[in-house]
Amino acid sequence: MLEVLGVKGRADRPAATRVTAAGAAVLLASTGCGITGNGDGPEPDEGQAGPQVTVSPAPGAADVPPDAPVRVSVAEGSLADVTIEQVRAGEEVETLPVTGTLSEDGTTWTSDWNLVPGTAVSVYAAAEGASGRQREFRSEFTTAPLGEGAVLGVESNFPRTGDVVGVGMPVIVDFDTPVEHKEQVENSIEVTSEHPVEGAWNWVADDTAVFRPREYWEPYQEVTVDLRLTGVRAAEGVYGAEDHRLEFEIGREMISTMHVPDHEMSVAIDGETVRTIPVSNGKAHRRFNTTTSGVHVLMEKYSRLVMDSATVGIPQGSPGYYRLDVDWAVRTSNSGEFTHAAPWNEGNLGVADASNGCTNMSVSDARWYHDQALMGDVLETTGTDRELEWDNGWGFYQRSWDEWLDHSVTGLPQVTDGSGTPGTVHGQGL
């Protein structure tokens, strides 16, 4: 399940991060202490030039939308120090960090992510002019609290924290309310992996977003998904209230390939073929019992399963109806396709296609495949005239990369190296 992130208040004020080079990202100190002073800071002596600091939102602003960026800029100088405190009152005072990105010329700092609803925000900035003259600025404002309407949250997600998955695994997030401002939500979710890849999000429904890499993940690595939903405007009056983190592991690489007319499946682990399995696929008398060609991502598995064709639109009494008890089943699509043991079809294994669309195996082969399979493993199938639909199960690799980007609301890839999402200041790498 998702882990909810929070940062508790600290008694001691940490030293503010010093800006020492243009283009550096600034991590802002966050404490429970108050800021002394407010307003525009001391005026320069008359006749003496000095750096001029401005901050947005304006000092004293109230009920600032949480998705409004904080910008600190300076004229006639460069920023030397920026510290922001964001304090939420409650039964226990809670302080939360804010991060930002400094422009290459050192004159503008912009917050990376949204603010927390219902907080008091204190801004401290120090700037230095060419002559070495310094100017300090202090400002305070408040963010609007959450309204009485819906709050954006996460209903479910795949994979879950702690899961070990295959190299084809997508990240699927189901929200608990429809999302109108998809670009804002999409840009609030950052995927980071030990071996970076290029990936992107698609929305398969108003409440469901899916991330897939351009190609498969590299095996043996950790992946982290940070859903920075706090302050994100999902719809008018609907904001996120909590951040979440999802951490999972990509295991070994298992990719199976099957050319249906050959009546066999080849299973490779970490690039080495470890088993060739005689199979019998769909007899293809009709479309519904034709095995689909395409990139299948394994979804779930069962040691025992009742397969009833009524669940895929073929009710009892219709031609082609079936109800079977099967062992060692692994789901490859949502149209009723599984690999499974079929001892009643043993004479056709490796010889002929005689199933209702599933991939039939011997009991020993089916059990072996079931035991090896991870959610997210890949089965690449060719040789039939029925293509797997991109939205049939986890058929997301059925869309070309260009098509996948076309259906992303940002239209841009995200590199999973921690550099940020494409539509944020952090991701743009000012």
| Alpha carbons within 13 A on the beta-carbon side of 292 | 25
Tell me which residues of the chain have a pLDDT lower than 70.
1-49, 90-92, 423, 425-430
The whole-number pLDDT of residue 48 equals 55
Residue 340: active-site member: yes
Token representation of residue 8:
């508790």
128 and 189 both lie in a single domain: no
Out of 197, 229, 250, a domain closes at: 250
The whole-number pLDDT of residue 82 equals 93
111 and 235 both lie in a single domain: no
242 and 266 both lie in a single domain: no
If one counts the domains in the chain, the total is: 3
Of 244, 263, 296, 340, the active-site residue reads 340
386: in domain: no
The whole-number pLDDT of residue 22 equals 31
180 and 195 both lie in a single domain: yes
237 and 192 both lie in a single domain: yes
The whole-number pLDDT of residue 196 equals 97
Instruction: Report the alpha-carbon distance of residue 12 to residue 34 in Å, rounded.
Output: 12
Out of 373, 395, 415, a domain closes at: 373
380: in domain: no
138 and 13 both lie in a single domain: yes
Domain interval for residue 349: 254-373
Residue 426: active-site member: no
The whole-number pLDDT of residue 10 equals 28
Neighbours of 89 (CB within 10 A): 10
**What CATH code is carried by the domain that includes residue 191?**
2.60.40.3710
138 and 26 both lie in a single domain: yes
266 and 237 both lie in a single domain: no
Cis, bond preceding 97 (omega within 30 deg of 0): no
411: in domain: no
Of 244, 263, 358, 426, the active-site residue reads 358
Instruction: Report the alpha-carbon distance of residue 425 to residue 382 in Å, rounded.
Output: 43
34 and 135 both lie in a single domain: yes
pTM, whole model, 2 decimals?
Answer: 0.83
**What CATH code is carried by the domain that includes residue 113?**
2.60.40.3780
Out of 84, 111, 142, a domain closes at: 142
413: in domain: no
The whole-number pLDDT of residue 317 equals 83
175 and 112 both lie in a single domain: no
328: in domain: yes
418: in domain: no
The whole-number pLDDT of residue 174 equals 98
392: in domain: no
92 and 42 both lie in a single domain: yes
**What CATH code is carried by the domain that includes residue 319?**
2.40.440.10
219: in domain: yes
122 and 71 both lie in a single domain: yes
The whole-number pLDDT of residue 263 equals 99
The whole-number pLDDT of residue 288 equals 79
The string of pLDDT tens digits covering residues 4-62 is 333 222 223 233 333 323 333 333 333 222 222 334 444 444 445 689 999 999 999 99
